[in-house]
């Protein structure tokens, strides 16, 4: 990760390969006027020639001809909107991407107008810069693939007090923890399925847990068999790779646990490769199915951050890790399998495997003394069809919990949209021979998946389901989001958790 520091150095005297100046307008005031003077009016000329109006995302670059310390200047428009965290995250990310071809090793970002609220501004800039400079290069040979950018300095207004400066240093520290956790999630998603097996995912969980001080237990096929987690097992038996149930715990220290205290469970779908099983996917649908553990990656990243940010509530993370393959022992269509909570499920499609893994993992989580569950999963193509690739679907059995999660997503800028658990669709999950089937009808696939999951959560337990099939993976870079695994969900889960008491 690049180094980010704060400074009150004058932008004119800042030694950096590129000076980025963020501005809401193109009027010759303050530093814009100072720069124009130093550049002998060259800046005004260029504003006119390139019709630079500082619209949101508009950019203008020029050589500073030795008139200020930095050899290059990049102006980035912020538009007229009020300042908020996502706006600065986008500005920093697009600056990082814009200067890429100049191969700078150092960058400074300054403000043409003092931001109204420095906290969210610094948070946005740092997060945007860290996330936009992420690349998954582990398997690119040669050393030409790393960006040379090493240092970013965020230039604070000269009058910033020592107290404010201290607060901002703390913000930067918190944002770094968050960015690292998002990057952890991206790395897990981007890792190919031949290296990131269920066993490897469990190894990485153990390693991470030891590093940040989480308790961690890993279970394999013998425990799953002993406990009757047969739905989870059914998915795994078609693979030579063993399944793993990963359980990590954050227990707040030094506080006596209140009676009725909230205990949150984050449950992740960790299908490290989804071939579809015997209901095999065509190649075009199978491409990208190494990312079918993005829900697991999101809860993994979230609890990594939570361990360091230390919320007041207790948080558990459960990951059901398995492959969905077509080996000789693979589960079949029409198999009837008894789940951990005692319900019988008729398998009608082996490609609807995520809900089977989650059903048992959530029922198990519910038995570990937790008071609410959030599950995160790349569960259905139908959710992608319904909401598009940038938005997650949310379903819940408790509206105030859903509202809190939606509110968290508004502040982090992750796009999440609630879908209704329509009761009229419940009969489509009926089976002739078992308690229920693992797929519903042709329509409303994201919702029937949600209705299926609901059957495995005790009714009195608050539960919210996030279907991240779309936003967990990006086909192209967009602002702070980079192509490939996005780490979607980490920041909203962390934000939600930090607000709980």
Beta carbon nearer to ligand BES, 373 or 379:
379
Place of tokens 């919210």: 464
323 binds ligand BES (CB under 6 A): no
> Tokens standing for 438?
């693992």
Residues 439-468 that bind ligand BES (CB under 6 A): 439, 445
281 belongs to the catalytic site:
yes
Place of tokens 């990594």: 304
- The residue at minimum Cβ distance from ligand BES is 381
Beta carbon nearer to ligand BES, 75 or 293:
293
Residues 414-443 that bind ligand BES (CB under 6 A): 439
Q: 43: which residues sit within 8 A by CB, 6+ positions away? A: 32, 35, 36, 62
3-state secondary structure labels for all residues of 483-496: CEECCCCHHHHHHH
Residues 268-307 that bind ligand BES (CB under 6 A): 274, 292
Identified catalytic residue from 33, 281, 483, 499: 281
- Please report how close the Cβ of residue 386 comes to ligand BES at its closest, in angstroms: 11
382 binds, among Zn ion, ligand BES, none (CB under 5 to 8 A by kind): ligand BES
Footprint on this chain of Zn ion (rule: CB under 5 A): 271, 274, 292, 351, 353-354
Beta carbon nearer to ligand BES, 339 or 485:
485
Count of residues interacting with ligand BES (CB under 6 A): 16
- Please report how close the Cβ of residue 379 comes to Zn ion at its closest, in angstroms: 7
Question: Taking the CB of residue 394, how many other CB atoms lie within 10 A of it?
Answer: 20
Beta carbon nearer to ligand BES, 355 or 462:
355
One DSSP character per residue, 247-306 reads EEEE--SSSPPPTT--EEEEEEEEEEEE--TTSPPPHHHHTTGGGTTHHHHHHHHHHHHH
Beta carbon nearer to ligand BES, 115 or 354:
354
Work out the angle at residue 160's Cα, subtended by the Cα atoms of residues 156 and 162, and round it to the nearest 5 degrees.
120
- Please report how close the Cβ of residue 332 comes to Zn ion at its closest, in angstroms: 15
> Tokens standing for 232?
């989870």
Rounded Cα gap, residues 15 and 9, in angstroms: 9
Among 137-145, 200-208, 348-356, 387-395, the segment contacting ligand BES (CB under 6 A): 348-356
Would you give the binding string for ligand BES spanning residues 362-401, x where CB under 6 A is met? Answer: ----------------xxxxx-x-----------------
One DSSP character per residue, 160-227 reads --HHHHHHHHHHHHHHHHHHHHHHHHHHHHHS-TTTS-HHHHHHHHHHHHHHHT-EEEEE-HHHHHHH
- Please report how close the Cβ of residue 426 comes to ligand BES at its closest, in angstroms: 15
CB distance 300 to 205 below 8 Å: yes
- Supply the residues annotated as catalytic: 281, 355
Q: Where on the chain is the footprint of ligand BES (CB under 6 A)?
A: 274, 292, 349, 351-354, 378-382, 384, 439, 445, 469
């Amino acid at each position: 990760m690049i180094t980010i520091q704060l400074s009150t150095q004058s932008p004119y005297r800042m030694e950096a390969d590129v000076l980025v100046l963020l501005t809401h307008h193109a009027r010759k005031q303050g530093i814009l006027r100072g720069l124009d003077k130093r550049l002998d009016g060259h800046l005004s000329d260029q504003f006119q020639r390139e019709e630079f109006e500082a619209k949101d995302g508009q950019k203008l670059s020029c050589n500073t001809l030795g008139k200020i310390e930095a050899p290059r200047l990049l102006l980035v428009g912020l538009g007229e909107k009020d300042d908020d965290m996502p706006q600065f995250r986008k500005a920093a990310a697009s600056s990082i991407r814009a200067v890429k071809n100049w191969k700078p090793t150092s960058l400074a970002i300054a403000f043409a107008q003092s931001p109204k609220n420095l906290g969210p501004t610094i948070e946005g800039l740092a997060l945007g810069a860290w996330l936009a400079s992420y690349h998954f290069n582990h398997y690119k040979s040669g050393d030409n693939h790393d960006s040379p950018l090493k240092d970013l300095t965020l230039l604070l207004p000269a009058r910033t007090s020592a107290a404010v400066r201290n607060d901002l240093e703390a913000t930067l520290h918190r944002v770094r923890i968050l960015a690292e956790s998002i990057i952890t999630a991206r790395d897990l998603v981007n890792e190919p399925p031949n290296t990131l097996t269920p066993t490897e995912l469990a190894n990485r969980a153990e390693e991470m847990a030891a590093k940040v001080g989480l308790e961690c237990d890993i279970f394999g096929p013998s425990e799953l068999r002993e406990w009757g987690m047969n739905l989870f097992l059914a998915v795994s038996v078609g693979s030579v790779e063993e399944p793993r149930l990963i359980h990590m715990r954050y227990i707040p220290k030094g506080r006596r646990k209140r009676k009725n205290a909230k205990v949150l469970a984050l449950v992740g779908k960790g299908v490290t490769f989804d071939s579809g099983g015997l209901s095999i996917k065509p190649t075009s649908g199978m491409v990208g199915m190494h990312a079918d553990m993005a829900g697991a990656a999101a809860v993994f990243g979230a609890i990594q951050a939570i361990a360091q940010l230390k919320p007041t509530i207790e948080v558990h993370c459960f990951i059901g890790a398995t492959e969905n393959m077509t080996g000789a022992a693979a589960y079949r269509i029409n198999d009837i399998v008894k789940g951990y909570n005692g319900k019988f499920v008729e398998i009608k499609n082996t490609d609807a495997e995520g809900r089977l893994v989650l059903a048992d993992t959530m029922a198990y989580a519910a038995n570990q003394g937790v008071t609410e569950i959030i599950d995160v999963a790349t569960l259905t193509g139908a959710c992608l069809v319904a909401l598009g690739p940038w938005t997650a679907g949310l379903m819940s059995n408790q509206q105030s919990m859903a509202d809190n999660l939606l509110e968290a997503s508004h502040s982090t800028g992750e796009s999440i949209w609630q879908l209704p658990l329509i009761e009229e669709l419940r009969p489509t999950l009926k089976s002739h021979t078992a308690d229920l089937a693992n797929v519903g009808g042709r329509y409303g696939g994201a919702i029937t998946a949600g209705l299926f999951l609901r059957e495995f959560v005790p009714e009195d337990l608050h539960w919210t389901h996030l279907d991240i099939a779309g936003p967990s993976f990006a086909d192209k870079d967009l602002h702070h989001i980079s192509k490939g695994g996005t780490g979607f969900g980490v920041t909203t889960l962390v934000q939600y958790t930090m607000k709980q008491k």
